[in-house]
Structures are given as structure tokens and as C-alpha cells.
Structure 1
Amino acid sequence: MRAVVVTTSYPVSDEDPSGHFVRSSAEALARSGAEVHVIAAGGSILDPPSRDGRLVVHRAGGGALFAWPGAVARARESPLRLLSVAPFAAGVLERLREIGPVDRAVAHWIIPCAWPLLLALPRTPLEVHAHGADVRLLLRAPRAARAAVVSALLRRDARFIFAARALRDALAGSLAPEQARALELASRVEPPVFDLPPVAGRAAALRREIVKGPGERLAVVACRLIPTKRVELAIEAVRAAGPGLRLVVVGDGPERGALERLASRGDLDAGSPRGAGVTATSDGNAAVRFTGTLPRREALAWIGAADVLLHPSSHEAAPTVIREARALGVPVIACDAGDVVAWARSDDGILVADNTAQGLAAALRGI
């Protein structure tokens, strides 16, 4: 069997955290015996295909938009990057022509990978993975446009895999009843697969570097530093939770400068509580440490080193970082987003806090 996977996010190296769940999904397909070709954003249409283990990776361009820290953030920073959609689409179609006939097509993200790009393979079974940003984009679109996209994929007999039940419910709830029912019948909910490399030794070393005394605790936030991740709530919560708690922020993004200034001055705004004087520095003894972007294994080691993972994000589906933390045995304090509340019902290692810095701080005092 030959399969093609089309995605806007795929790692450029073993340690790149971007799109690792797409790679894991494609590798699982390859382990079933399929010959798997991945068409991914980035690089150039002129680049020759490359090998990534069992996978053949074809780059299709479009990296000006479809790259870290995400298309929405990059478009907000420079709207001209939206022009990259056209060359990416052309690159995908050319790669599909080069690869030739396939027995199975897989899209990661409804837009633009399933619709309109994989509609170019009208007779190939189509599997569509919805991860979150694609559903939110559809929900912001005019109702007629949203219905047209879903209708086109349903007519194509696409099978939908939603990362979270909340995503499917939100999209179905925005459609006419008959179309919503058809979508539900053509879909299932399945969080993305992920691989977890061994990090215990490195995690122990990082913990020794930060936690110096028996009364000290370590909280970690690991995410892109963009507004919806609300890292400012974590910083304010650490300040309010009391002494002995350190915070490591793993990741980077357009909000980093503002977050470092917030941590340095120890207040969020004129109405914020003042107190502990959080300091932003690379010194391991600081109350808040920003690591910047790290290789995936190192980022996972920081999570493994923590007493708790803080996840104050407002927009999520099935956040992989929470599942990674739980796989590493690390408790999680999160705000209500996506399927997190449903997970917490069956996992007492996940605590859903009030959607405020004070709510997070109260939860932190209990760890």
C-alpha cells in the first residue's frame, strides 16, 4: 500500500518539537507496512525528497507562513506571509503529481490540507485529522463557507479524526442538524499519537540544578509564547503562590519580551497583586527562568524535572504537552480548554483550576 500524508507542520530534525505528532502518526502508518510519502510545508519545491526513517519527505514550500510559532502568529506579525498559501498549494499539487497514484491519503488539518488540496485525489480514500486551529478557523468563517467545506469533504467520503471531542462538538454544533449528523457518523475522536524518548537522567540533572532545598518546588510551562497560551497567568500565579516556588518557561515566541518584562517587574498591570518580585533571568536560582526554544528531548526533560506542569492556555483541543507530562508521571494544573476537563475526570493527576492567576495559585499551594 502507498500512502500520502499532507501537512503544514512537520519537524525538520529529530529534536524539532514542531509537528512531531504528525511524524508519529505517519510512522505508525509505515509500521503497518505502507510506503508513506509526507508532503510538508517548508523548504522548496526544488528540494529533492529526503528519507526520515521509513518515511519519504517531500517539501512543498510555504515556510514563510507555515512555520514556528504557527501560521496565525506569523500572519499577525506580517500579513504578507499569507501570500505563501498559493505557492504552498502549488507545491503540494506538484508533489502529488510526482508521487503518482496512492491507495490512501491523509490530511493533517482540515484547511488547507484536506480542503482543497487533497480533493485533487478524487478516488483515493481520505482520512482527515482535525487538531484545533483548523476547526477554530472554520468556526470564524461565514456559515455558508463552513458548510461548503464540510459538505465537500463528506461528498468525498472523507473519514474525520478529531483530536478532541470538544472540537467535534463545536464544529457539529455550528452546522445544520442533518450535516452535523453526517459529520458525526463520518468521524471519531482520537488524540494524536506521540513518542516519548527516555529523559529520566537528564530530568534528574536539571532538577538538581534548580531545586536547591527541601522546601523548594519547580513548576514548568512548555509552549509557544503566544497570547492564547496565557503564560502571564502562570507568572502571576507563581508570584501569588508564595516563596519556594520556581518557574521555568520552556519555549519562545512573540510574547517573550513582554513576559520577561512582566516577570522582572513583578506585576501584570495596575490591578495585579504585588509581592514576591519575580525575576526573569537565565540564572537557575531565579524565580522565573526562560529557556527559549529547546530540542524536544531537552524540553521533555524539563517537564520530567518538574513538580507540576502549568497549562493556563485558553484555546486547546487535546494538548500533547499534558499527555506527555502525565506519561512522565508529572501532575498537571490546567485551565478548562478542549478535552482537559474530561481527562481530569479519569486522571487525578490533572487538576483543572479556576481560569485566573489566583485560581492557579491556589492549586499550586496544594502541590
Structure 2
Amino acid sequence: MKKIAVFSNMYPSAEHPTYGIFVKNQVELLRKSGVSVDVKAIDNPKSGKVQGLLKYGKWFASSLFYLLGNRRKLELTHSHYAFPTGVLSLLGKRMFKIPYIVTLHGGDIDKMAKKNAKIASMTKTILQEAAHVVTVGERLKQEVVENFGVAENAVTVMSMGVDQTVFHPMERAAVRAELGLQETQPVVLFIGNLIREKGVLELVQAFESIRKTVPNSSLHLIGSHKSAGFVEEVKHEITSRQLEGIHLEGTKTQKELVQWLAAADVLALPSYHEGFGLVALEAMASGTPVVASDVGGLTYLLADGAGVLVPPKDAEALAAGLLQVLSSETPANEEKRKKLVHEHSYEMIVNKLLKIYEDAAKTR
């Protein structure tokens, strides 16, 4: 394979090291497998109408110039997220006959495609003209086939994968000492953007119940503060409830995230919707139990006792699930967890992706 281009509206930078880290990890995995990859991506998560228009406009124009200059060198393009990223791949196909694949992560279908009829129509076109569509979860595949008219044999369910050389169990006392955590203190961990749709307010409310049962427990919220207004709302919720033990940790490097996952007693992922929930898989690879909303890809990932599933937007049920894990009332299905981690290992993922690339390139 000569060269591929990866387009993404999320990619990490020195200032924002975890923003779209899953895309960068896959790019590095492909490069290690001998694929020549160029990346055209947005590495700034800051929002705002004017700033958003400027950064997207600059990225879009730069990517079009890139396609023009590299049209004869490219075997195919790979867009992460259908809209607006997939528009670049669609233009590359229509102008230069470069085939493309699209990876759907959830928000592009659950939120973006539902904004208005025009975006929904464009999303449908992008998916139907792709050489192949990758969805990070089974529910997403069903929606793509049923609601967007894509042939089932043109869709593959495949997560972004987990690097077991990075995410693995560690000696808890040692990592806690390095992070400044008490060895015996129960630690509840959240990793994700601090936005309403991640269920952060419900988690804060659930933690109030947890503190009544486990007074010395702590809750650590790790992630980007994309919405300053919502972060202030979270802080107000904490203050108004006079809650102690909650820490807003901000963003962390991947090395630090590995330590936090290994140090935690449980990972909470109370999202309203989730295409797959990669951080849940990373927690399982780290040997940390997961309590998550029964939505999207999480429903499949944590089935059969691999984790604890609770209804979304339900602080009381979330508290009960977290207490269930903290009290060790129901041990996790370790065999299922290990099987899942193996199925989503980097080795398995890259082999599937390279086969998709090979088949897609033949359509040119």
C-alpha cells in the first residue's frame, strides 16, 4: 500500500494530549505495521462559534489542498467521524477517484446526524459512497444498515482497540503512592470530557449517596473542560450539596491515565449515549471494574457480568451499582473480561483494518 490519509476532527497535541488519542494510537499502530500514513486533523478542542468556524475552515481548506497535491500518491483515505470529516473523503472520491472508509464513533450518528435534515442527508451520502464503514459498536452497525441504507456486508464492527503493553494491571499500592492517594481509600474514577452527556451531574449526585455508606471514598473527575459553563454547574452542584472528596483533575497524559486506571477501585461511565466506550475496555485491561450506563456499545461490551450496567440519567441506580462494586457483592466475570480484552487487542484490530484497506483499495 503506497500511502493513506487519515482525516479526523480530533487529534492530540502537546497542550491537549488525550484529545482524540484513540485516533493517534491507531495511526501509530498502522505505521508500525508498515503503512505510510499522513494525518490532517484538528488538535484543538476549544469551542466557541467564531473559533470553531475558523479552526474548521482552516482545517478543511488545508485538507483540500493536501488532496490536490497528493491525489496520485494516495491509495485511499480514512475519515474518523462521518460529518464533517467524511465530507473530505467524499470530495476526494468524487474529484480524484480516491476510495475511502469511514469510522463511526457514535456521536456522528447519535447527535450530529440528528441536528437537521441536511446533515442527516449528507451523512447518508457519505456512508453509502464509502468503500467500507467501520462502527465501534454493534448498535451503531444496526443503525447504519437500517436507517442509512448501507449494505450489511459493507459494515464492520471494530473498536479502536486496547494496547495491552500500555493498559495492564499494576501494583495498586505503588501507583497510589505515586499519585498521592491513600492506599486504603476507595477511589471512584471518571475519565471523559466534562460535558452533560457524559452523566457527570448524575455521578456527582450518586457520590453523595456513596459518601453516606463509604465516608472515606473519593471521586476523581479526569477530562477536558470543553464547556466552561457546564464545569461551573458541576462545581455549583458539589458546593450546594456540601460534598467532600470530589476532585476535578483536568486532563492527563496517557501515562497518567494508565496509573489512574490501575489505582482506581471502579471506573464510572454514566454516559447518555456511547458508541463503544473505549475507556471501559482500557479499565478492564487494567483490571479495574466498570459501572456504566446501559446504552449503545456499552450494553454489548459489559454484558454477561463483564461489568455492571445501570439505566442512564439515574443517579440512584448509579450509586447502587457503584456500591455493589465497592462492597464486592458481585464479582466480575473475569473470564469474559479477559476474552473481551483479547478480542479488542491491537494485534486483532490491525489485522482486520489492514484487510479492510486492502479490499477498499481494489475499488479504485
TM over 0.5: same fold?
yes
Name the CA shift for 1:118/1:354 in 2 (closer, same or farther; >3 Å). closer
| Residue from 137, 140, 147 that aligns with 1:174 | 147
Aligned residue pairs, count: 311
Q: Which residue of 1 aligns with 2:291?
A: 333
| CA deviation map 1:177-222 (0-9, x unaligned) | xxx2x34231111111243526866964453433354xx4111111
**Which consecutive unaligned segments of at least 5 residues does structure 2 have?**
326-364
Give runs of aligned pairs for residues 1-367 of structure 1, distance below 5 A: 1=1, 2-13=3-14, 16-42=17-43, 67-68=44-45, 74-75=47-48, 78=49, 81-101=52-72, 102-122=74-94, 123-143=97-117, 146-151=120-125, 153-154=127-128, 156-175=129-148, 180=149, 182-195=150-163, 197=166, 204-208=173-177, 209-211=180-182, 213=184, 216-241=185-210, 242=213, 243-253=215-225, 254=228, 255-266=230-241, 277-279=242-244, 287-346=245-304, 348-355=305-312, 356-367=314-325
The two structures have a TM-score, normalised by structure 2, of 0.77
Q: Amino acid of the residue matched to residue 238 of structure 1? A: F
Name the CA shift for 1:33/1:79 in 2 (closer, same or farther; >3 Å). same
Residue 228 of structure 1: CA displacement?
A: 0.6
**Which consecutive unaligned segments of at least 5 residues does structure 1 have?**
43-66, 267-276, 280-286
Q: Amino acid of the residue matched to residue 125 of structure 1? A: P
Name the CA shift for 1:245/1:112 in 2 (closer, same or farther; >3 Å). same
Question: Comparing both chains, which one has the higher relative contact order based on Cα–Cα distances under 8 Å and sequence gaps of 6 or more?
Answer: 2
Q: Amino acid of the residue matched to residue 233 of structure 2? A: A
Residue 136 of structure 1: CA displacement?
A: 2.7
Q: Amino acid of the residue matched to residue 18 of structure 2? A: P
Kindly report the root-mean-square deviation, in angstroms, between the aligned alpha carbons of the 2 structures: 2.6
Name the CA shift for 1:84/1:18 in 2 (closer, same or farther; >3 Å). closer
What is the distance in 2 between the residues matched to 1:199 and 1:14? 26
What is the distance in 1 between the residues matched to 2:141 and 2:191? 26
Residue 84 of structure 1: CA displacement?
A: 3.8
Q: Once the two structures are aligned, what percentage of the paired residues are identical?
A: 24
Name the CA shift for 1:139/1:114 in 2 (closer, same or farther; >3 Å). closer
Q: Amino acid of the residue matched to residue 154 of structure 2? A: A
Name the CA shift for 1:116/1:136 in 2 (closer, same or farther; >3 Å). farther
Residue 249 of structure 1: CA displacement?
A: 1.1
Residue 354 of structure 1: CA displacement?
A: 3.2
Q: Amino acid of the residue matched to residue 107 of structure 2? A: A
The two structures have a TM-score, normalised by structure 1, of 0.76
What is the distance in 1 between the residues matched to 2:60 and 2:6? 14
Question: What SS does the corresponding residue of 1:365 show, helix, strand or coil?
Answer: helix
Name the CA shift for 1:3/1:238 in 2 (closer, same or farther; >3 Å). same
Question: What SS does the corresponding residue of 1:18 show, helix, strand or coil?
Answer: coil
| CA deviation map 1:137-195 (0-9, x unaligned) | 453144565345423553x45200011122232344434xxxx2x34231111111243
